[in-house]
Amino acid sequence: MRGAFAALRDGFSLPARPPWSYGVLCGTAVALPLGLGALAGAPHVGAIVALGAYYTAFGDTYGQPYGERAKTLFRAVPLVMLGFWVGAVLALSPWVAVAGIGLVAAMGAQWKVIGTPPVLAAISGFYAGLPPGLGPALQMGLGGVLFCALALALWPLRRLHPLKRALSQAAAAMADMLDGLAVPEEEWTELREEGSRALEAATTAIAAFNSSEESDRSPDRYADTLARIFHESVALRSLRAQTIEAGVEQQGLDEAVGKLSRALRESAEQESVVAVPGALAAVADFAERVTALRGRASPVQMALLGQVRRCMDRIAVAVRSVALRSSEGVRVPARLPQLTWRTPSFEGGIAHAARVGVAVAVSMALLVNVHDHFGRWMVFTVLIGLRPTYGDTFDRVVLRVAGTIVGSTAAAFLLAAVPGQGTLVAVVWIFAMLGFALREVSYAYWSTFATPLALMLMDFSIQLNWNAAGARVALTVAGGVLAVLAARLLWPRGEAGKVCDLVVDLLREHARMVRTLVDRDLDRLPDRTEAAGQAAEKLSESLDTLEKEPGGQAPEELRQAVTDARRLRDDTILLAAVMRGAPEGTDATVAILDAVADRMEAVAEAVRQDKAPPEADELDAGLADMASRVDTLVEEAEGGQAASVRRELRHAVAAHPALRTLTADALRLTDDVTR
């Protein structure tokens, strides 16, 4: 019960501002053919056209670049037409339709290129009671074309708007990170993750434009500069903490960082460079203060302040570059979208697709003798409510049932108070506008408005009275129960078998990241860090999924491993900042980093083969103790070349203090995954 209340509380919250203009567009696309059909005396035709617009909008990807949206919509329209026609043909033999639509549902769940709208169209075609001709399918396609025309009408004028918005949001996220250098660890972790997601979204938006432009106004250059700010911010936070521990006065550091943050935020929001000169002056003033301390501060303090100054210089240059590019605007050559078709594969397993197909087929079989418009609501709820995990399915069903009750009650009340087709068209417009706008931020509100909207479109000639609303609510509840049972009984577990491979990937990607420092290939470090972060994110998502399975529980050690992996990435970024522009490191530095990478790779192989991890040799024992006593590495070394490497270790640690934390976090990570 508490889980249901929690799902309702979270589901009916609004974490962001809904895109109301998009809601108006969708409402117009759905209500316009409905109203025209009523005026022309052909309400059934208008309803089918409106339903085509609704299903096409259902599959739209709002917020994505127009080219990506166009490809999605151009695929969706013929698939929706085909789905409706297939459903009408299968209606001639209901028991064949049970298997046929179940198969279509499984295909939609397995392959994103098909998705949910064609399956909904197939179910609608089965229950529509229309002859299996091309006319209704073409009418539904007309509705899809209408939505495409409205959704893409501003493409020539707003072609770069999604890209600029993604880059602006990424720049604002980097400014938030600069503002959060002094916040507690938990808040910093959240800011860092938001920054990483914003950079990933910007990179995805750029990739959608297939840009190969190499000029300074290229969006790739913009994103690379933001990535440098991300890395330098991570390094600066650690260096700032070290200066505080060493008893060094900040010398105006926070003020300079604040001005850099304001300049970056202003460039993102206003495309202005006005604040940049003041930020650069603040950074120069900080550098002068650091120089003035020479002779009064200890060598260790001056070394730390020197690292902070170099880090600030790099951030200042990057902020200036971002501001200039924002004021000039990014440039991407105009291209038509390339329609491609990827061969469907069964990568990732077919358990969920099979679960959806069986559940949809069972729901249709239970209602095979109730071949009218009532039966579709149970099938719809099963299809839309069933998620890959039991926990997600339960939450989705609770929200859908609650939304259906609220929305159907509201719609029935409005139509009972002011009956007539004019009222129905107005209610459809309002529900479509609210539903599609709120869908982007809340599934619960989407269910509240989308469910009665769909039933009004499908049953345009039937007044939505209290009896009709009650019947649909009852069938929705029955479909929700069936969806929950399917998620609980049909292959409910399976994530645990994926965890081992994900742990191996986590260790190997982080080992590759560390080896980037060995090769001093610092330009490739952002890519290696991103790959390591993606491996950690996949493991974290897998652990979340595992906890949503019946009786599933994620090992706490692996949760800690994800945290330690993030710290290791931060350590690597800090060490790269220290190494950047510095002379070549000693053999001892290379030996340390090689040993860390070797250890992670060895543990990864042991985890893959389900064997005990290799015992720590003398070098590993020394690395584990390195954070507290560097001298033990020399004392424990054996003769020969290995001993000479260990003798140089003290000098390496003195030159690169960040090695201590990196080593400790790396070995802690390997311990986490082998407990």
Q: For position 509, what pLDDT does the model report?
A: 93
Tell me: do 508 and 646 sit in the same domain. yes
Q: For position 642, what pLDDT does the model report?
A: 46
Confidence at 582, pLDDT banded by 50, 70, 90: low
Residue 343 forms part of a structural domain: no
Give the 3-state secondary structure percentages of the chain, helix then strand then coil, rounded to 5.
75, 0, 25
Predicted model pTM: 0.77
SS (H, E, C) 464-509: CCHHHHHHHHHHHHHHHHHHHHHHHHCCCCCCHHHHHHHHHHHHHH
Residue 336 forms part of a structural domain: no
Lowest mean pLDDT among 112-121, 492-501, 630-639: 630-639
Q: For position 653, what pLDDT does the model report?
A: 38
Q: For position 99, what pLDDT does the model report?
A: 92
Tell me: do 153 and 176 sit in the same domain. no
Q: What is the CATH number of the domain that holds 231?
A: 1.20.58
Tell me: do 653 and 522 sit in the same domain. yes
Name residue, tokens 């117009």: 28
Tell me: do 485 and 530 sit in the same domain. no
Q: What are phi and psi of 157, to 5 degrees?
A: -85, -30
Q: Which helix (H) or strand (E) holds 415?
A: helix 390-417
Confidence at 94, pLDDT banded by 50, 70, 90: confident
User: Which tens digit of pLDDT belongs to each residue from 502-543?
Assistant: 889 999 999 999 999 888 888 888 889 989 999 999 898 888
Residue 572 forms part of a structural domain: yes
Tell me: do 502 and 413 sit in the same domain. no
Residue 297 forms part of a structural domain: yes
Q: For position 11, what pLDDT does the model report?
A: 56
**Termini Cα distance of the chain:** 35
Residue 112 forms part of a structural domain: yes
- The per-residue DSSP string of 255-318 comes to HHHHHHHHHHHHHHHH---TTHHHHHHHHHHHHHHHHHTTTTS-HHHHHHHHHHHHHHHHHHHH
Q: For position 372, what pLDDT does the model report?
A: 57
**Rounded mean pLDDT, 636-655:** 40
Q: For position 33, what pLDDT does the model report?
A: 92
Rg of the chain on CA atoms, in Å: 30
CA torsion sign for 143, 144, 149, 151 is: positive
Confidence at 419, pLDDT banded by 50, 70, 90: low
Counted domains in the chain: 3
Tell me: do 148 and 222 sit in the same domain. no
Q: How far is CA 175 from CA 163, 166, 643, in A?
A: 19, 14, 47
| Structural contact between residues 322 and 267, judged by C-beta atoms closer than 8 angstroms | yes
User: Which tens digit of pLDDT belongs to each residue from 308-364?
Assistant: 888 899 999 999 988 888 877 766 666 655 555 555 555 556 888 899 999 999 998
- The per-residue DSSP string of 577-640 comes to HHHTTSPPPPHHHHHHHHHHHHHHHHHHHHHHTT-PPPPP-HHHHHHHTTTT-THHHHHH--SS
Which stretch, 209-218, 246-255, 417-426, 639-648, has highest mean pLDDT? 246-255
At which of 489, 523, 538 does a domain end? 489
Q: For position 648, what pLDDT does the model report?
A: 42
* Residue 123 structure tokens: 């179910």
- State the virtual CA torsion across 252, 573, 544, 499 in degrees, nearest 10: -160
Tell me: do 461 and 390 sit in the same domain. yes
Tell me: do 293 and 371 sit in the same domain. no
Which residue range forms the structural domain that includes residue 39? Answer: 2-157+351-489
- For 454-492, give one letter per residue: b (16+ CB within 10 A) or e: bbbbbbbeebbeeebbeebbebbbbbbbbbbebbeebeb
pLDDT higher than 70, residue 262: yes
Q: Higher model confidence: residue 169 or residue 159?
A: 169
At which of 440, 468, 489 does a domain end? 489
**Rounded mean pLDDT, 413-440:** 79
Q: For position 643, what pLDDT does the model report?
A: 41
Confidence at 588, pLDDT banded by 50, 70, 90: low
Tell me: do 185 and 153 sit in the same domain. no
- d(Cα 610, Cα 278) in Å, to the nearest integer? 58
Confidence at 463, pLDDT banded by 50, 70, 90: low
At which of 328, 362, 391 does a domain end? 328
Of 461, 438, 463, nearest in space to 449 by CA: 438
Lowest mean pLDDT among 295-299, 462-466, 616-620: 616-620
- d(Cα 466, Cα 443) in Å, to the nearest integer? 25
pLDDT higher than 60, residue 32: yes
Q: Which helix (H) or strand (E) holds 218?
A: none
- d(Cα 379, Cα 483) in Å, to the nearest integer? 10
Q: For position 511, what pLDDT does the model report?
A: 92
pLDDT higher than 60, residue 656: no
User: Which tens digit of pLDDT belongs to each residue from 365-378?
Assistant: 888 776 456 677 78
Q: Higher model confidence: residue 655 or residue 496?
A: 496
